[in-house]
Structure 1
Amino acid sequence: MKLHVLASLAILLSTLPGYAADGDVPENIQGRWVDKGKACDASGEPMVVSATSLVYSDGRVDDVVFEAGTGGDGVIGLRSEDVSSYEYVAADDTLLFRPEGFGMGSTFPMVRCQERTSILERRCGWLANLSSGNWWLVDADAAWILREKADDNAAVTAVMDMVPAFDPDQYVSMGQYYGYGCACMTMTTDSAQDRILAITSSKREPLATCQADPSLPAIIE
């Protein structure tokens, strides 16, 4: 299994602007991953990879940045001072966890969990957090609910695990804590409730992409 040598993650993490979308984990890598040989269920302790984070089975979250190699390979590096990294090998669709850092020490392979969602939709629009605990993806059809303040269940937590962080350079602030950006998501919905039931991947887009779409409603500030 041949991996291509990538630029130093230490240099990358010190120079890349915080959460810039060009450092996002590609959509084809996002999803649930588990240690090779374990089941993709609660006992298998799956890890969720989103565009901007890793969410572990115990609820811990690491913010990450992706550095692309060649041939589809790449490295997911942690934004914290932890040297651990995850190397993606496109040839066999595998993640290699390296606790001692890129190209160093022991390697622990991880495999992808197959998603069970049957009907997937690609929707793009405003990713909005306009009040405490309330999140939506607003497109031409609806303000799709990602989370409401009163929600407290595993299904909603799984949805929010896949929601990317806002890009600070492509974000409209509406006060100290709230605002909106632009994003695309591949997801399953309940159209009767305007609710997002699951997200398999997401991609942050420039504000200009949503601003130029005449089908999108304006966000009321």
Structure 2
Amino acid sequence: MQAADVLRESIMSGKILPGARVTEVLLSEDMGLSRATVRAALHQLEKEGLTTLIPYTGWTVISLTTKDVWELYTLRSSVERLAAQLVATNIDASKRTRLNRHFQTLVDACQSEKPEKIAEADFALHKGIITLADHGRLLSQYEFIERQIRLYIRSSDSLIEDGETIVEQHRPFVEAILAGDAEAAGSLSEAHNLSEGKKLIDHLQKLMPDDSPNSSPDGRLKHLKPRAKASTK
């Protein structure tokens, strides 16, 4: 396994905590690698949005501020809305089988009550819908922020104690896609993302009271709601 893979997994699993300061010297000693190799790995993770190099301070693992969460989930909700609509519009037997498989994996993971399995299955379902959309540029844009989305999903899932709740949060838009209802699939997917994002922001603001609405985008969040389903009358 490459140095970047090891560090990435440590961040995604929570072994290295958000906001933690990491040094090339200590990492090279722990991993038995040269500082140059570790430095290259940290730069790779910086490109993925997982680490940042602060002048005169050093390397730091990203932490999810309210602004980070707002940017991620508003972007994610738009991208996944489009993907859900595209898959529903072009649904066929093969895509139904693949989507059902992803959803069942999430159900099984939630029944296991293992946070890491739940987070991975949750992400795999969402990534699976992006892939099924068969839209290369959409997929490439999603992959650009993929690592940050995985970290975000892990954080939001950790706020839910009941695995069955996670399953039921995903079921409506999955069923809409399977039914070929593009408008409902898009609206329900967007509503899911916006709702979970708002919950995570509320949680972060309780942990970081200084991160007030005046210094965050929360004021804008109140006006950002899922688009209404178009009337068929």
TM-score, with structure 1 as normaliser: 0.28
Between structures 1 and 2, the one with greater helix share? 2
Between structures 1 and 2, the one with greater strand share? 1
TM-score, with structure 2 as normaliser: 0.27
Of the two, which has the highest radius of gyration? Answer: 2
